[in-house]
Amino acid sequence: MAAQRKTTTKRKPAAKRKPARKASAKTTPKPRTKTTAKAESKSATESRLRGYGGGGVDTVISVEDVTRQIEAIAQEVTVEELDALVDGEPFLTIDDLRAGYGKMEILHNLNLRVGRKQSLCLIGPNGAGKSTILHAIFGFNNIFGGQIRVGTNDAKREITNLSPNQKLKQAGIAYILQDKSVFPSMTVEENLWMGGFLMDKPAQAKEAAERVFDKYPRLAARRKHQAKVLSGGERRLLEISRALVMEPEVLLVDEPSIGLEPRFIDMVFEILHDLQHNEGKTILMVEQNAKKGLEFADIGYVLVSGEVAIAGKGDKLLKNPEVGRLFLGG
């Protein structure tokens, strides 16, 4: 497993990449879905749950194969192309970001742009560095170079080296963790109050929690229940709403659909859709369920080995045959 992961951290110079058209002419066997590095070590049932597509596991394609095949079709994605995907001015802007863990660089000169009230979904094989992008924005890992800015025009502010607390309290950025981040023995309302732990007075957190309860009666009905008795969908709703307590402008969401039954997956995407379109949140999401993620998001980036390999409008990427073959199970 470690060896598979290691290959994804190497930077492949853009110049070595082949043009997309050449690669798409290749006749590669058509996989129905892929098993992931993580999944390979788990049971067959688990691996079926964590694939990209909706099919079975008749044909298996490894993480390394997916990585190789995307690198083969990747073209250099210019900043101008990324800018063109944004409505108006970018609200979250990342320039030449180099970041990683310890001394290991995972993201190599990464650029990213998303407009205010827009959504961007990152897809890519396991270990591509998707979560690392969210970690870097929120201040969870080491940044070796580059800039992260939030805001538009004159109000653009550099936030590259702010701490996570500063990001949340001062920069209006909230991070919704990849799964299982509720405090199980605390009640629903206590969990929400925790979301306001950076507020100056506890009363402010309680007021903010009430606003969240007004918005989500389903959660209000469970306010005195311990979080551990909630259904998977309710728990995800609690995770999202806890992030809303600080009234952030930007939501970083790591794999919102992970581990959920289909009906809850739809519910979570409806909630995120409402937050974007009715509450004006800017959403940067990582999603293994590439179909759902790209259907949801205005913009999609395919990330491989810490670099953007393909970028486009979400609906356009959904129709991209290579994206379909590698991530959509068809």
Ligand X SMILES: Nc1ncnc2c1ncn2[C@@H]1O[C@H](COP(=O)(O)OP(=O)(O)OP(=O)(O)O)[C@@H](O)[C@H]1O
At closest approach, how far in Å is the CB of 11 from ligand X?
13
Q: Which two tokens stand for residue 181?
A: 């981040």
**Which residue, 131 or 276, is less far from Mg ion as judged by CB?**
131
Site for ligand X contains 34 (CB under 6 A): no
Q: What string of DSSP letters covers 158-187?
A: E-TT--HHHHHHTS-EEEE-SS--S-TTSB
**Which residue, 131 or 320, is less far from Mg ion as judged by CB?**
131
Q: Which of residues 4-33 bind ligand X (CB under 6 A)?
A: 5, 8-9
Q: Which residue is nearest to Mg ion (CB)?
A: 131
**Which residue, 5 or 316, is less far from ligand X as judged by CB?**
5
Site for ligand X contains 118 (CB under 6 A): no
**Which residue, 8 or 33, is less far from ligand X as judged by CB?**
8
Cα–Cα distance for residue pair 21/72, rounded to 1 Å: 10
- x/- mask, Mg ion, residues 94-133, rule CB under 5 A, reads -------------------------------------x--
- x/- mask, Mg ion, residues 212-251, rule CB under 5 A, reads ----------------------------------------
- x/- mask, ligand X, residues 119-148, rule CB under 6 A, reads -----x-xxxxxxx----------------
Burial class of residue 161, CB neighbours in 10 A (0-12, 13-18, 19+): exposed
Cα–Cα distance for residue pair 44/230, rounded to 1 Å: 27
Q: Which two tokens stand for residue 178?
A: 């990849």
Other C-beta atoms closer than 10 Å to the C-beta of 209 total 26
What Cα–Cα distance (Å) separates residue 272 from each residue in 54, 89, 208, 282?
A: 22, 22, 19, 10
Q: Which two tokens stand for residue 106?
A: 């995972």
Number of residues that bind ligand X (CB under 6 A): 14
- x/- mask, ligand X, residues 67-106, rule CB under 6 A, reads ----------------------------------x----x
What Cα–Cα distance (Å) separates residue 182 from each residue in 179, 187, 207, 226, 290?
A: 9, 10, 20, 10, 25
At closest approach, how far in Å is the CB of 310 from ligand X?
15
Cα–Cα distance for residue pair 114/298, rounded to 1 Å: 9
Q: Please report, as ranges, the residues that interact with ligand X according to CB under 6 A.
A: 5, 8-9, 38, 101, 106, 124, 126-132
Q: Please report, as ranges, the residues that interact with Mg ion according to CB under 5 A.
A: 131
